[in-house]
Amino acid sequence: MTEKNSWHSFAHSIDYIEIIKDFGSNIELGLHPDEIEVFKAKYGKNILTPKKTDGPIKRFFLQFNQPLLYILILSAIVTLFLKEFADSSVIFGVVIINAIVGFIQESKALKSLEALAKSMSTQAVVVRNGKKMHIDSSQVVPGDILFFVSGDKVAADVRLITSRDLQVDESALTGESMPVEKSEGLLPESTALADRKNMLYASTLITYGSAKGIVIATGDNTEVGKISQLISKADSLDTPLTIKISQLSVFLLWVIITAAIIAFAVGVINGQPAKLMFLAAISVAVAAIPEGLPAAMTITLAIGVSRMVKRKAIIRKLPAVETLGSTTVICSDKTGTLTENQMTVMEIFAGNRMFNVFGSGYNTDGEMKYENKIVHIDFSKALRFCMKAGYLCNDSKLLSINGHNTIQGDPTEGALIVAAIKANLDESLLLKQRPRLDTIPFESEYQYMATLHKTERHSVIAVKGAVEKITNMCSTMLDENDSNIPFDKEKIMAVAEGMASRGLRVLAFAIKYCVGPQKNQIHHEDVESDLIFIGLQAMIDPPRPEVIEAVKKCHTAGIKIKMITGDHALTASSIAKVIGIVKDKNVDYTAITGKELESFDDEQLKDIVQDFSVFARVTPEQKLKLVKALQARGEVCAMTGDGVNDAPALKQANIGIAMGITGTEVAKESADMVLTDDNFASIVAAVEEGRGVFDNIKKFILWTLPTNVAQGFVMMMVIFLNREVLPILPAQILWINMSTAILLGLMLAFEPKEEGIMERKPISAKLPIIDNLLIYRNIMFGVIMTIAVLLLFEYELAGGATLEQARGVTVSIFIMAQSFYLLNCRSSYHSIFKLGIFSNPFIWLGITLMFIFQTIFLYVSPVNKFFKVQGMDANSMIRLLVLGLFVYCIVELEKFIRRVIAKKRGCEC
């Protein structure tokens, strides 16, 4: 017995009789019951192995695995040991709140493998021990003989034994937009997956015909099982901002620890009590930690999610919102993403004239033009016959469901029906005048379909099929004068090749009049010769109308587009030119194929993904490698798709984007974002929102870090100056940090997007979050606040204020300064007068609420007693207002100077 899964890579090149013999099966009797039990034990059930995930308890405790939280937890323990219960309880409370918020916002455990298993759950028709029976697909084993008819979902990977007119929809697996014709003949071992015509794959769908085959792989060993394993192996990547925040956290961790140790050592050396210095060191640590940052980031992202829903994008994983703003390249599947996934006739050649058909998909709104003039079906005899033949020689139907047209049957035939209606064909009259009498169905062996129709005087045969086949059956053709002339095969083949070179799929049409008694039946010999050639119809799965503008906007925003598809290279290249992925439409651009990619190693792939924009006939493994190659070049990669074949790459990408309508459950569960309208253009809107969210998070960081640094400066200076009384306690610092983060900083999440947001290049993931502006603001704010606190604290005590009142003033200094500074941070460059004073009303709501809560904090018992503060008089309040206004003016002056410098350099800020 050949080892498990060894057939899988080359079964298409082996005679099925050898495979049947190797499995010990029988083409008529199937497997013996004893063999079935052996194979069940050896190969297991025909299901996908689910991936183990962390339980909720473990995920909750993982929320504490953050560097800055380590300091807070240690601080809480030390203050508890020092019997400072108020400080300890507040610190512990902040830690728990952060963990709960993180746990709630964490994305749901990925269900990709469960969705894949669900997609394989179906019934199978099998012969076992000579009996034909229906079994659950999970019970199928290698060696089973399966039977298929139209509408069946394939339960396992199968090598065909026999087939009749077999067509299979493999779009979800390979990206092929059209049903694939299948036959049992041998193929070369090097044949690509999408071209293996003698194989059926699990989770694909039989759309036409019937077949019998032997199972060669089940469960995890199927092609869809390989995809399942790829999903499991795909790395879960942090977003650009979370990486920067993580780096910042580690940096702050060491700075804070160093500062706390220095503060404690200096205080003890200066003769201060060890307990007081412990408390001071903890105050330094707590002051410098931006406790509100995790919660503020989470809520800002959540607000971004709600905004994106209105723009047809559902975010499944919160960090995806921010990642969109940093995206540098979008890798897009073609079928159903960039295109309609609805075949559409674009060109018709009839009577030596070329007609262009307008309109997209199955929508019958459209028109036909010749030399830029609208024409109808009666323009010429050849055009009329070509349209009628396409409608009559057709087994599909155009249906309207919920106001949307759809096709019941073959997409190619659907395109012919829609084209005929656009030409003003009277459908009901035609069917009445030309009732069908007989049919020769399409068979891959003959490459054509023919139908016999009754007329008033005689019968007529309509034929459609492959150009190479139909042209060998024709003897005459209709010319531009509607005259029957000798058939010019060379000319027709040249026209057909020109259509094919534009990525179009071409069908030929012919008719034959039956002379003599009325015929009721037709046979192949009736159409083998003497046909009248009446025309060609060329079709394509067209690009979505809005995609062209969307691609243009992406280029303007500095975002590169890569088409990665399982479809044919010529078709992919043609679509890429039309929508602008390939910018120079006059260049003879050729996509790179999956077969060519096989010859490149990982290092070479890095150059290939840079040089090429279109990749065709690629496998799921290659899609994954291409995404990894882009990421290795430092790109922030978004991947769009809708099929099972897209799932591994969707999960590997920095942000996976699935189609909500046509997308498979596997794709949706692997993705970070789902488009509810399947519209590529919605990605542009989502990127715009993502950039807005990214901006607002950076504004929050620019607002919060300087205030935290200022608090740390104050505590360090108090220790260095050997002051015996601390102007602020740890619990009071936490009140400042948490209340201002929620009531003030969070209001920046509602800040409208600034002008020109889609005209600038993506922010590089390599740029550090601590830039020159943030360093300057830290120093400026730190110096101003340190001087203000030390002077006003001493001034209050000297003026007869109690220690609790003086500390209340210190807390209020930070609250007042942060309120005014919040107005500065609405934009890094522009003033609130340029933005609009009330363009973000939530800013004013937050400031109002902050003053209300600060009043409660100072004047309402037992709150003020718990935090050890008391209220202040009117004069103190005036001094605080002056300080706040001073901070605002200083920052605005700095922004004004930077605008002047930028203007001189010719930059637009």
Tell me the CA distances in angstroms from 853 to 54, 138, 306, 734, 850, one per residue in order: 40, 62, 28, 14, 5
Report pLDDT digits (tens) over 733-761.
878 887 898 899 889 989 998 888 888 88
Residue 399 has pLDDT above 60, yes or no: yes
Write the secondary structure of 808-837 as one string of H (helix), E (strand) and C (coil). Answer: HHHHHHHHHHHHHHHHHCCCCCCCHHHHCC
> Where does the pLDDT of residue 460 fall: very low under 50, low under 70, confident under 90, or very high at 90 and above?
very high
Q: What pLDDT shows up at residue 239?
A: 61
Residue 466 has pLDDT above 90, yes or no: yes
One-letter identity of residue 721: L
Give the Cα separation of 42 and 791 in Å (integer): 81
Q: What is the mean pLDDT of residues 772-788?
A: 87
Give the Cα separation of 205 and 168 in Å (integer): 6
Give the Cα separation of 53 and 236 in Å (integer): 13
Q: In this predicted structure, which of 12-26, 222-236, 271-285 has the lowest mean pLDDT? A: 222-236
CA dihedral 304, 307, 309, 310 (to 10 degrees): -170
Do 644 and 170 touch, CB atoms closer than 8 A? no
Do 605 and 621 touch, CB atoms closer than 8 A? no
Residue 176 has pLDDT above 70, yes or no: no
Give the Cα separation of 136 and 121 in Å (integer): 8
Is residue 296 exposed (0-12), middle (13-18) or buried (19+ Cβ within 10 Å)? buried
Q: Classify 164 as helix, strand or coil.
A: strand
Residue 60 has pLDDT above 80, yes or no: no
β 180-181/637-641 pair status = unpaired
Write the secondary structure of 458-486 as one string of H (helix), E (strand) and C (coil). Answer: CEEEEEEECHHHHCCCEEEEECCCCCEEE
Phi, psi angles (nearest 5°) of residue 888: -60, -45
Q: How far, rounded to the nearest angstrom, does the alpha carbon of residue 562 sit from its chain's CA centroid?
A: 13
> Which run of H or of E encompasses 180?
strand 180-181
Do 216 and 160 touch, CB atoms closer than 8 A? no
Do 19 and 217 touch, CB atoms closer than 8 A? no
Q: What pLDDT shows up at residue 234?
A: 56
Q: What pLDDT shows up at residue 351?
A: 95
Catalytic residue (choose from 144, 157, 165, 333)? 333
Q: What pLDDT shows up at residue 845?
A: 96
528, two tokens? 């083998």
One-letter identity of residue 837: I
Do 522 and 440 touch, CB atoms closer than 8 A? yes
CB count within 10 Å of CB 525 equals: 7
Give the Cα separation of 615 and 593 in Å (integer): 6
- Which residue pairs from 105-109 have beta carbons closer than 8 angstroms and sit at least 24 positions apart in sequence? 105/298, 105/301, 105/302, 105/318, 106/59, 106/63, 107/316, 107/317, 107/318, 108/316, 109/53, 109/54
Give the Cα separation of 396 and 410 in Å (integer): 6
- Tell me if the bond preceding 862 is cis, omega within 30° of 0: yes
Q: In terms of pLDDT, which residue wins out, 669 or 548?
A: 548
Give the Cα separation of 31 and 141 in Å (integer): 9
Report pLDDT digits (tens) over 367-394.
999 999 999 999 999 999 999 999 999 9
β 131-136/180-181 pair status = unpaired
Report pLDDT digits (tens) over 325-361.
889 999 987 877 788 878 999 999 999 999 999 988 8
Nearest to 726 by CA among 711, 740, 741: 711
Report pLDDT digits (tens) over 656-709.
888 777 676 667 777 888 888 777 788 888 888 888 888 888 898 889 888 888
> Where does the pLDDT of residue 179 fall: very low under 50, low under 70, confident under 90, or very high at 90 and above?
confident
821, two tokens? 């500074």
409, two tokens? 């049957």
> Is 333 one of the annotated active-site residues of the chain?
yes
> Where does the pLDDT of residue 139 fall: very low under 50, low under 70, confident under 90, or very high at 90 and above?
very high
Q: What pLDDT shows up at residue 177?
A: 61
Give the Cα separation of 780 and 891 in Å (integer): 9
> Where does the pLDDT of residue 415 fall: very low under 50, low under 70, confident under 90, or very high at 90 and above?
very high
Give the Cα separation of 485 and 505 in Å (integer): 26
Q: What pLDDT shows up at residue 112?
A: 38
Give the Cα separation of 196 and 397 in Å (integer): 29
End-to-end distance of the chain based on CA atoms, in angstroms?
A: 71
Sign of CA dihedral 187, 188, 189, 192: negative
Give the Cα separation of 401 and 398 in Å (integer): 10
As beta bridge partners, residue 217 has: 157
Report pLDDT digits (tens) over 848-880.
999 999 999 999 989 999 899 999 999 999 999
**Percent of residues, the chain, with pLDDT higher than 90:** 36
Nearest to 625 by CA among 326, 342, 235: 235
599's CB contacts (< 8 A; 6+ apart) are none
Q: What pLDDT shows up at residue 107?
A: 44
Give the Cα separation of 382 and 385 in Å (integer): 5
Give the Cα separation of 29 and 126 in Å (integer): 10
One-letter identity of residue 296: A
Nearest to 627 by CA among 608, 603, 645, 653: 653
64: left (phi over 0), alpha (psi -120 to 50) or beta: alpha
Q: In the 8-state DSSP scheme, what is residue 339?
A: B
Q: What is the mean pLDDT of residues 456-480?
A: 93
Tell me the CA distances in angstroms from 587 to 282, 491, 560, 573, 607, one per residue in order: 67, 26, 19, 11, 21
Q: What is the mean pLDDT of residues 452-458?
A: 88
Nearest to 366 by CA among 425, 426, 419, 430: 419
681, two tokens? 């253009």
Residue 588 has pLDDT above 70, yes or no: no
Give the Cα separation of 97 and 88 in Å (integer): 14
Nearest to 804 by CA among 710, 874, 727, 719: 727
Most confident region among 408-417, 480-489, 498-507 by mean pLDDT:
480-489
**Percent of residues, the chain, with pLDDT higher than 70:** 87
Helices in 638-771 by DSSP H: which ranges?
A: 647-652, 665-670, 681-720, 730-743
Q: Classify 439 as helix, strand or coil.
A: strand
Question: For all residues of the chain together, what is the average pLDDT?
Answer: 84
CB count within 10 Å of CB 556 equals: 13
Give the Cα separation of 469 and 440 in Å (integer): 15
b vs e for 176-205, b when ≥16 Cβ sit within 10 Å of the residue's Cβ?
Answer: bbbbbbbbbeebeeebbbbbbbbbbbbbbb
Phi, psi angles (nearest 5°) of residue 224: -70, -30
Residue 571 has pLDDT above 60, yes or no: yes
Nearest to 276 by CA among 859, 722, 579: 722
626, two tokens? 């291409």
Give the Cα separation of 57 and 466 in Å (integer): 62
Give the Cα separation of 641 and 657 in Å (integer): 7
Q: In terms of pLDDT, which residue wins out, 478 or 714?
A: 478
CA dihedral 20, 25, 31, 34 (to 10 degrees): -130
Q: In this predicted structure, which of 65-69, 232-236, 822-826 has the lowest mean pLDDT? A: 232-236
Report pLDDT digits (tens) over 606-665.
999 998 999 988 877 788 899 999 999 989 999 887 777 777 888 888 888 887 776 766
Q: Classify 356 as helix, strand or coil.
A: strand
> Where does the pLDDT of residue 438 fall: very low under 50, low under 70, confident under 90, or very high at 90 and above?
very high
Q: What is the mean pLDDT of residues 394-422?
A: 89
> Where does the pLDDT of residue 291 fall: very low under 50, low under 70, confident under 90, or very high at 90 and above?
low
Residue 141 has pLDDT above 90, yes or no: yes
Give the Cα separation of 536 and 626 in Å (integer): 38
Q: What pLDDT shows up at residue 51?
A: 58
Q: What pLDDT shows up at residue 344?
A: 93
Write the secondary structure of 759-777 as one string of H (helix), E (strand) and C (coil). Answer: CCCCCCCCCCCCCHHHHHH
CB count within 10 Å of CB 574 equals: 22
**What is the model's pTM?**
0.68
